[in-house]
C-alpha cells in the first residue's frame, strides 16, 4: 500500500487537521475511538493510505501533530477525538513561536526538530512504502510558517523522491492583529517554492466570504471555515482513499497538474456549497456541478476564473449516479473555451469516486493551476514591501538568527513566480 503521512503544524494546521480527521473517520466508518463500525468493504479497501491498523479493525490516523506551544495540541489531547490519535504523535515544544517565523525556523523550532524528525522516521518505518507527505499549516504563523518550512526542508532532504504536498492558508491581512504576518508569509513562500511538489492555496478572506454570502452564516468562526477546508481536503483525497473508476494518486495528480516545477501552486473550488441541513435533499446535476467548479463564488481563494488562464484543471466528482459521459462532454466544452490555454492537450481532466461524501449525494472538488493565483502573491508582497522598505520590525527576526538576505530572496522568488505565471496569462 502507498501510504501518506500527514504533518499538522501550528494552530491553524492542527485545527484544520482535526476537522479533516473527523470527516475522514465518518467516511471510513471509524468512531471517535478508532473502531470500525462501517457497512461497506470499500471503506476499508484503501484505508491504509491514511490510517494505520494497530489491531483488528482499530485504526489510527497516520498524522503527526506539532506546535511550539501547548495550546493547540492540548486542545486535541482534550477533544472528543482524544482516543483516536496516537498520543506519541502529539508533540509540542516549550515556548511559543510568538508569531515569528525565525523562532519557528531557527531557535525554538531547531530545538524540537530532532524529536520531530525521529518521530516522522518512526512513522515512515511502519509503512510499506511511503508515497508522500501532506502538510497542513498557515503560511503566516510563527509555527505553521517557520517550523513548517523547517520540517518541509528536512523531509525533502531525507525523502528526496517522495511527494510533498501542502495545504497552505494565506492570511486575511485586513483582519489580522499580527503586524509581521507579511514577513512570515514571504519567508514561508521561499521554502514552498523550493521544496514542495504541490501547494494547495486557500485564503481566509475568501473562506469568510463564503460563510457570509453563500452559507449566510455572518457570525461564522474558524470552526466553520475549517469545516469547509476539511470538505475540500476530503474531496481532493477521495480518490486516494477509495477505489474508483477514474483514479489518482499524489504523483499522477502532480504530473497532470504541474507543467513546470515552479508553477506548483494550485487553487481549489467546491460544490455544493450549502448549509448542512439542506444538503442531503439536493440532487445537483452534472452541468451545475461543472459550472460551479469554474464559478467565482465557489473558489477557495480570491480567484476570478474569468481573468487569466487555466494551465490545467481536474474535477474530482463523487456520487453513484453521475453520468461520466455527461461529465466528459461538459468538461471538454470548458476545455475548449477561451479560459484554457490550448497548447497543453487534455489539460482539463476528471476523476471519479462512486462513494459520495457523507453530507451530499454528489459533489465536485475542483483543482486548478491558474495564472490568476498571482493576485494572492501580490496581496502579501504589497504590505511586505511597505514594511521592508523601512526595515520595520525586522530586528525581531534578525535576533533569532535570520539574515536580511533571506527576506530579499523570498521576495525575489515570489516576483519570479509572478512573472512565470503572468507570461501565460494571454496565451491562446
Ligand X SMILES: Nc1nc2c(ncn2[C@@H]2O[C@H](COP(=O)(O)OP(=O)(O)OP(=O)(O)O)[C@@H](O)[C@H]2O)c(=O)[nH]1
List interacting residues with ligand X (CB under 6 A). 10-12, 15-16, 67, 96-99, 138, 140-144, 169, 171-172, 176, 181, 204, 222, 225-226
Rank residues 185 and 414 by Cβ distance to ligand X and give the closer one. Answer: 185
138 part of the interface to Mg ion, by CB under 5 A: no
The item of ligand X, Mg ion, none sharing an interface with residue 138, based on CB under 5 to 8 Å by kind, is ligand X
Asked if 173 and 385 count as a contact pair (C-beta separation under 8 A), the reply is no
Binding letters toward Mg ion, positions 8-37, x by CB under 5 A:
---x--------------------------
Write the Ramachandran bin of 391: left for phi over 0, alpha for psi from -120 to 50, otherwise beta: left
For residue 152, the minimal CB distance to ligand X (Å) is 14
For residue 155, the minimal CB distance to ligand X (Å) is 17
The item of ligand X, Mg ion, none sharing an interface with residue 269, based on CB under 5 to 8 Å by kind, is none
Rank residues 59 and 135 by Cβ distance to ligand X and give the closer one. Answer: 135
The item of ligand X, Mg ion, none sharing an interface with residue 299, based on CB under 5 to 8 Å by kind, is none
The item of Mg ion, ligand X, none sharing an interface with residue 99, based on CB under 5 to 8 Å by kind, is ligand X
Asked if 105 and 137 count as a contact pair (C-beta separation under 8 A), the reply is no
For residue 50, the minimal CB distance to Mg ion (Å) is 25
For residue 171, the minimal CB distance to ligand X (Å) is 3
Rank residues 74 and 321 by Cβ distance to Mg ion and give the closer one. Answer: 74
The item of Mg ion, ligand X, none sharing an interface with residue 234, based on CB under 5 to 8 Å by kind, is none
Rank residues 97 and 402 by Cβ distance to ligand X and give the closer one. Answer: 97
Q: Per residue, what are the HEC states of the chain?
A: CEEEEEEEEHHHHHHHHHHHHHHHHHHHCECCCCEECCCCCHHHHCHHHCEEEEECCEEEECEEEEECCCHHHHHHHCCCCCCCCCHHHEEECCCCCCCCHHHHHCHHHHHHHHHHHHHHHHHHHCCCEEEEEEEEEECCCHHHHHHHHHHHHHHHHHCCCCEEEEEEEECCHHHCCCCCHHHHHHHHHHHHHHHCCEEEEEEHHHHHHHHHHHCCCCCCCHHHHHHHHHHHHHHHHHHHHCCCCECCCHHHHHHHHCCCCCCCEEEEEEECCCCHHHHCCCCCCHHHHHHHHCCHHHECCCCCCCCCCEEEEEEEEECCCCCHHHHHHHHHHHHCCCCECCCCCCCEEEEEECCCCCCCCCEEEEEEEEHHHHHHHHHHHHHHHHHHHCCCCHHHHHCCCCCHHHHHHHHHHHHHHHHHHHCCCCCC
For residue 197, the minimal CB distance to Mg ion (Å) is 26
For residue 401, the minimal CB distance to ligand X (Å) is 16
Rank residues 12 and 253 by Cβ distance to ligand X and give the closer one. Answer: 12
For residue 207, the minimal CB distance to ligand X (Å) is 6
The item of ligand X, Mg ion, none sharing an interface with residue 226, based on CB under 5 to 8 Å by kind, is ligand X
The item of Mg ion, ligand X, none sharing an interface with residue 16, based on CB under 5 to 8 Å by kind, is ligand X
Rank residues 19 and 318 by Cβ distance to ligand X and give the closer one. Answer: 19
Rank residues 108 and 286 by Cβ distance to Mg ion and give the closer one. Answer: 108
Rank residues 11 and 149 by Cβ distance to Mg ion and give the closer one. Answer: 11
For residue 41, the minimal CB distance to Mg ion (Å) is 41
Binding residues for Mg ion, rule: CB under 5 A, are 11
Amino acid at each position: 500500500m502507498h501510504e501518506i503521512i500527514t504533518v499538522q503544524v501550528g494552530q491553524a494546521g492542527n485545527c484544520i487537521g482535526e476537522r479533516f480527521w473527523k470527516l475522514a473517520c465518518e467516511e471510513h466508518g471509524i468512531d471517535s475511538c478508532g473502531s470500525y463500525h462501517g457497512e461497506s468493504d470499500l471503506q476499508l479497501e484503501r484505508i491504509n493510505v491514511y490510517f494505520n491498523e494497530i489491531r483488528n479493525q482499530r485504526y489510527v490516523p497516520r498524522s503527526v501533530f506539532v506546535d511550539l506551544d501547548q495550546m493547540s495540541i492540548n486542545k486535541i489531547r482534550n477533544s472528543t477525538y482524544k482516543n483516536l490519535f496516537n498520543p506519541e504523535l502529539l508533540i509540542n515544544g516549550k515556548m511559543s513561536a510568538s508569531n515569528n517565523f525565525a523562532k519557528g525556523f531557527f531557535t525554538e523550532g531547531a530545538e524540537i526538530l530532532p524529536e520531530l524528525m525521529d518521530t516522522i522516521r518512526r512513522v515512515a518505518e511502519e509503512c510499506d512504502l511511503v508515497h508522500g507527505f501532506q502538510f497542513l499549516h498557515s503560511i503566516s504563523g510563527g509555527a505553521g510558517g517557520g517550523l513548517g518550512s523547517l520540517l518541509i526542508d528536512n523531509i525533502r532532504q531525507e525523502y528526496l523522491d517522495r511527494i510533498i504536498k501542502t495545504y497552505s492558508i494565506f492570511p486575511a491581512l485586513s483582519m489580522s492583529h499580527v503586524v509581521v504576518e507579511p514577513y512570515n508569509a514571504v519567508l514561508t513562500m521561499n521554502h514552498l517554492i523550493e521544496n514542495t511538489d504541490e501547494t494547495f492555496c486557500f485564503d481566509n478572506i475568501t473562506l469568510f466570504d463564503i460563510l457570509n454570502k453563500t452559507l449566510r452564516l455572518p457570525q461564522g468562526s474558524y470552526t466553520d471555515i475549517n469545516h469547509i477546508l476539511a470538505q475540500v481536503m476530503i474531496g481532493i483525497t477521495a480518490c486516494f482513499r477509495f477505489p474508483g473508476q477514474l483514479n489518482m494518486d499524489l504523483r499522477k495528480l502532480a504530473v497532470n497538474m504541474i507543467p513546470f516545477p515552479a508553477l506548483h501552486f494550485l487553487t481549489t473550488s467546491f460544490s455544493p456549497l450549502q448549509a448542512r441541513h439542506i444538503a442531503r435533499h439536493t440532487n445537483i446535476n452534472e452541468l451545475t456541478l461543472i459550472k460551479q467548479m469554474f464559478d467565482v463564488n465557489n473558489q477557495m481563494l480570491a480567484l476570478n476564473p474569468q481573468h487569466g488562464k487555466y494551465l490545467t484543471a481536474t474535477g474530482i466528482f463523487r456520487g453513484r449516479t453521475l453520468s461520466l459521459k455527461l461529465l466528459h462532454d461538459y468538461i471538454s466544452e470548458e476545455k475548449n473555451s477561451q479560459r484554457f490555454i490550448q497548447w497543453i492537450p487534455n489539460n482539463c481532466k476528471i476523476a471519479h469516486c462512486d462513494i459520495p461524501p457523507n453530507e451530499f449525494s454528489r459533489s465536485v472538488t475542483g483543482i486548478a493551476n491558474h495564472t490568476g493565483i498571482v493576485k494572492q502573491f501580490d496581496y502579501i508582497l504589497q504590505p511586505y514591501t511597505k514594511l521592508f522598505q523601512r526595515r520595520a520590525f525586522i530586528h525581531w527576526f534578525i535576533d533569532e538568527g535570520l539574515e536580511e538576505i533571506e527576506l530579499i530572496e523570498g521576495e525575489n522568488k515570489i516576483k519570479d513566480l509572478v512573472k512565470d505565471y503572468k507570461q501565460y496569462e494571454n496565451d491562446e
